[in-house]
Amino acid sequence: MTFVLKSAASALAISCGVAVMSAVPAHAYTLMDMLRGDRQRTQSTIFMDQMPPGRVGSRSGVGGSLGGLDPEAPLPKVSGPRYYTYKTETLQFVDTGRFADPVVTGAVADVSGSGDASAEPAVQRRFLAQAKVRANADVAKALEAYYGDSRNPLVWVEGNQINDRAKSAMLVLADASFVGLDPADYAVQTPDIDPANPDPAFRDRALTQFELDLSAKVLAFVQDTVRGRIDPNKISGYHDFQRKVVNLAPVLKLSRMSPDVGAYIASRSPDSPQFQALKAELAKLRAADGGNEERIVVSLDRLLRPGDSSPEIANIVKAIGKHGSETLKTDHAATLAAYAGSIDYSPDIVSLVEDFQKERGLKPDGVIGQATVRAMTGGDTNASKIDKLVVAMEQARWLPEDLGSRYVMINQPAYMVYYHNDGKEQLSMRVVVGGKNNQTYFFDDEIETVEFNPFWGVPQSIIINEMLPKLRSDPNYLDQLGYEVEVNGHAVASSSVDWYGSTNNVSVRQPPSSDNALGELKILFPNSHAIYMHDTPSKSFFKRDMRALSHGCVRLADPRAMAAAVLGTTVDDVAKQIASGQNHAVRVPQKIPVYVSYFTAWPNKDGVVEYFDDVYGRDAYVDKAFDATSKARGAQI
């Protein structure tokens, strides 16, 4: 099974590629050294488009022609996706002219003087055509469909006043913050009607304006709570979702017919266990008086290692005593009780720290760095946790409400992957995800195959950004490494390719080996970003706390266990498949959803919400999109 990139256009979607490398001779270290990061970068590290060209003049090899390219020009570069300035959806005026049905208004004229109180709603319908409401296209369509049908009565107005149904709906909208939405987006001005005002037309105009305003807000709330306030694909090229379509057509009828309209509207919020855990955590934090809570600060300007001394030891012990688990504090009760303020990082304190690191999923080596400090001091403030929860609840709406009874969840900020079966987490392990310059995408897909002893099809981004400078200095470079090169599907020697020309028709792959970049296996869920899970020979990376280190694909700490899980087989069977030494693929018995996600707040298997660093800074872009959306909605007439 060979994966070959056919064009530079497709390469732009590849995230398994980097843009920097060390400016050293081609023979100084291998490509695998570069990809692993084994060589320590020095001050000579520069960007590819700043490197001098390899050789002067063009070659007459079999690659693409120069096409007028100056060999002295800067080397080409493949760039990854970018973040956007968020563009809000267009708001349009609802076509209220459709609400002035001549048949209806004629009927109104016949009964308006009869004194029949039951005619008042029909009288008010006459003023619907004069109301002005702006909404997005879906909400406008639902409003026009409901109020354009003269058989549909008003929902929120009865006689000369708003009804209890309206008051119930407005209470739910006012509490939108409890489900991670902004109440200001759904605020409706109650009509200011002076009972002493003898002008019924003034009253009816105000009531019909209120009727449409509230309907528009209820529809917007339902749409937002199901699919989210913002379109993730407008945040960056790293987001890839099919935005949900929300059926708004029956909402107003069901609101009118429901015996408890507030409960009906509230029921439209996601009901998954994960969303409910986020919602409960949000309510707890908002109810907490975090402003007066003592915050323990640990200030370290370097790593603190066993045997060192520091005046911060006292704060470290105090912080673990506050944020450590009850089991941890019981196991180390003697140490916590006996501590008398020493600045020595003694063995008993080291043991306390190691056990704390272990229960927090950190490397239990007793070395205190910023990740450990963050964990022991409680990490985020209440305010920052609330912000992460609101973002997480929005992002949860982008995924299916029901993740399924069997699925794989990769959470990039946690550097973890979880396998769920029969609704329970059965396997979890550390992962390495893309570095900040080679970010892993946020999307969902389905696992289809496991490939054993894989070839590594080198992405165009790596060929251009990393290999090309070496190849221009030494065209034999790939031959020496044992890589296979093809031009237009025909095997050629690396030395025969014109590396000063286009690489669009050139493919490079690494055969299966102990040094293969993908290791023993890869787990495929075909997508336009060429992202998959795979093994790696760079095992040391999994010992790090910060594991945003790959070219964009997801490296697994225990790939055999994950392969066995998705194939529904045993690790021993997986080992036999690998031992064959043959490159072959096995289809999973049934496609398994995989969520390549990005949550800085997410519940663990026990329903406890955990918080993570925003490694790519994506939450800030979501917040900006929130602000832009609320500003656009607030500007409507």
Active site residues: 534, 553
DSSP string for 118-175 = GGHHHHHHTTGGG---EE-HHHHHHHHHHHTSTTSPPSSEETTEE-HHHHHHHHHHHT
Question: Which tokens is 436 given?
Answer: 């900040």
- Residue 523 one-letter amino acid: I
Q: What is the CA 553 to chain-centroid distance, rounded?
A: 15
- Residue 98 one-letter amino acid: R
Residue 581 to residue 363: CA distance in whole angstroms: 33
DSSP string for 549-591 = EESSSEEESSHHHHHHHHHTS-HHHHHHHHHT---EEEEEEEE
Residue 529 to residue 554: CA distance in whole angstroms: 12
* 518 phi, psi to nearest 5 deg: -100, 0
Maximum distance among all alpha carbons in the chain?
A: 99
Residue 248 to residue 416: CA distance in whole angstroms: 37
Instruction: Give the side-chain half-sphere CA count within 13 A for 17.
Output: 29
Task: Give Cα separations from 5 to 14, 67, 80, 487, 509 (angstroms).
Answer: 10, 21, 15, 11, 10
Nearest to 80 by CA among 16, 19, 12: 12
- Residue 562 one-letter amino acid: M
- Residue 44 one-letter amino acid: S
Question: Which tokens is 485 given?
Answer: 């090169």
Question: Which tokens is 505 given?
Answer: 């028709």
Residue 449 to residue 563: CA distance in whole angstroms: 9
Instruction: Give the side-chain half-sphere CA count within 13 A for 78.
Output: 26
Buried b (16+ CB within 10 A) or exposed e, 369-385: bebbbbbbbbbbebeeb
Residue 516 to residue 344: CA distance in whole angstroms: 46
Task: Give Cα separations from 321 to 15, 285, 291, 376, 627 (angstroms).
Answer: 42, 21, 21, 9, 39
Three-state DSSP string of 52-100 = CCCCCCCCCCCCCCCCCCCCCCCCCCCCCCCECCCCCCCCEECCHHHHC
Rounded-to-5 percentages of helix, strand, coil across the chain:
40, 15, 45
